Structure 1
Amino acid sequence: MPRQPRRRSYDQHCAAARALDLVGDRWTLLVVRELLAGPRRYTDLHADLPGVSTDMLAGRLKDMEAAELVTRRRLPPPASAYVYELTPRGRDLLPVLRALAAWGAPDLGEPRPTDAVRAHWYAVPLLGALAELGEGVVQVTLDEGEFHVRIAADGSTAHGDGAYGDGAAERPDARLRTDTATCRALAGGETTLAEALASGRATLERTAATAGTASR
C-alpha cells in the first residue's frame, strides 16, 4: 500500500489553527526570517539555515510557494540564478517574527556551544529599539558581522524591500557599533538604546546628511 501523505491541517475553524496550517511546520518561519532581508538564492538560504537538509528546505519552499508566501523568479542577465522572495502576504509575517523574538529574548542567554550564530539574526529582535532613531537605514556592526535595518518615516520598520539586509548598507544614514550582549539586552528590554549609548556599550555615528541629529 502506498504511503499516505502527511496530514497538513488541524481541521479546526480557528484563525490561529489556520495560521499554523500555513506556517507551523519546522523551518518555515526561519525561512521567512531570512527572506525578510530581501530575495535570496537557494544556496544562500541553505547556508544561513544551518541544520536544515536540502530536501527539507526544498520541500518547505515548495509548500510556501503553494501557500503564496514566497515566489521564485530568475534574475535578469548576466545572472542566471533563481531567487526566492516573500510575497506581500509573506512580508506580513514580520510582526509575528517580532512578537516571537520578543517572547523568546528573555531565554536567549549566552550562545550554547552547539549554537550557530549569524549577525543578521539579531536584526528582528532589534527592530523596535532601532526604530527610535527615525527614518532611514541603520547599519549595525558586531564582532560577528554586519547587517542593516530599514526604518520608515513613521518609525515603523519598512519592509517593502526587506525589513533588514545582511552585510553593510550601501549608503547608511547611521552606523551603530555594539556587541551581542548589548543586542540581547536591547531585545529583552533590559536596557534602552539611549542607555546603551550613554554607557558606552554602543556608539552611533550619523552620516553627513543626518549629522545634526547625531546626539543620543
Structure 2
Amino acid sequence: HDDALQAYNKGSIFLKMHRFEDCLDAYDVAERLWEEETDMLTSQGDPEAAKRSKISFLNILSCKSYANYMMGRYDASLELIEKMLEKAPEDPEYLFRKGFVLYTSQRYEEALICLENALSKCREFPEAWYCKGNVLRELGNYDTALEAFECSIEYSQPLSYQFPRFTWIPLTSSPKMKMDSSEAWYCKGEILFRQNKYEEALEAFSRALDIKPAFEDAAKFRNIVLQELGKNSNIK
C-alpha cells in the first residue's frame, strides 16, 4: 500500500507539471499494486479494507484517463473509463466522463446516450446537463439544448472561484460543491442569439458576466447583442 501511495503521489506531481508520460509510468505502478492489494484483501475476507483499496484503484484509473485525455489520446482515455465502469457500472460520474470524452471526440450520438444515462441516475448533476446542452447544440437541437442549459443553471450554485469550461470531477469532490453556472448562461445566450431572441440573449450574457465579470467571450457577445438592439455598447 505504501509503495502504491508513493507512486500515486509521484504521478500526481508529474501530472501537475504536465509531464504526462512520466505521470503515466508512475500511475501504472500504483495501479498494479492497488489492484493486487484489492484482490489479496478480498481473498482474505476483509471487504472493508478491499473496498478502500478499490477506491484507490479506481482513482488511479481516473487519473490515467485524465492524463491521456490531456494528451489528446481519447481512445485510451475511453478504454480506462470503460475499465472503471466494469467495476462500478452504475456510477453517474463515470458515465458523465465517458460522455464528456465522446463529446470531445465529436461522437455526439454516443455522448448523448452516456449523458442521459448519467442523468437518469443523478438528475442534480449540473456538469452533465451542461455537457448535454453542448452535445445537443452541436446536433442542431437548439430548443432541447436550451432546456439542458437551464437545468444546469438550476442545479448549479456559483462559488467564489471559477471552474474551467469543462471540469474533470475528482472522485473525492464534496457533494456540496457546485459548478459555476456562467458557462451555461453563456451557451444559453449564444443559442438565443442564433434564434434572433436578442433581449433574452442580452439577459443571458449579462447573467454570465454577473457571475464571472472577467468572462471576455460573454462581454464581446453582449456588445454584439447590444449593437443588434441598436443600443449603446457602454450601457450596463
**TM-score computed with the length of structure 1 as normaliser:** 0.31
Q: Which has the higher helix share?
A: 2
Q: Give 1 or 2 for the bigger CA radius of gyration.
A: 2
More relative contact order, 1 or 2 (CA 8 Å, 6+ apart): 1
Q: Which has the higher strand share?
A: 1
